Amino acid sequence: MKDDFKKHLLPTDIKLLKLLARLKKEDIHGFYSLVFESINNNKEYAVDDPTPPVEKIKALTKVMDYFVTIEEYENCAVVRNIIDKIKAKQEE
Residue 48 structural domain: 27-91
Question: Is 71 in a helix, a strand, or coil?
Answer: coil
- Indicate the DSSP class of residue 8: T
Of 6 and 43, the structure prediction assigns the larger pLDDT to 43
Residue 60, domain member (yes or no): yes
Residue 70, domain member (yes or no): yes
Contact (CB, 8 A) for 31 and 24: yes
- Give the model confidence (pLDDT) of 42-82 as tens digits: 999 999 988 999 999 999 999 999 999 999 999 999 999 99
- Indicate the DSSP class of residue 51: S
Q: How confident is the model at residue 5 (pLDDT cuts 50, 70, 90)?
A: very low
Residue 20, domain member (yes or no): no
- Give the model confidence (pLDDT) of 19-29 as tens digits: 888 888 999 99
Phi, psi of 16 (to 5 degrees): -65, -45
Single-letter residue type at 37: E
Residue 41, domain member (yes or no): yes
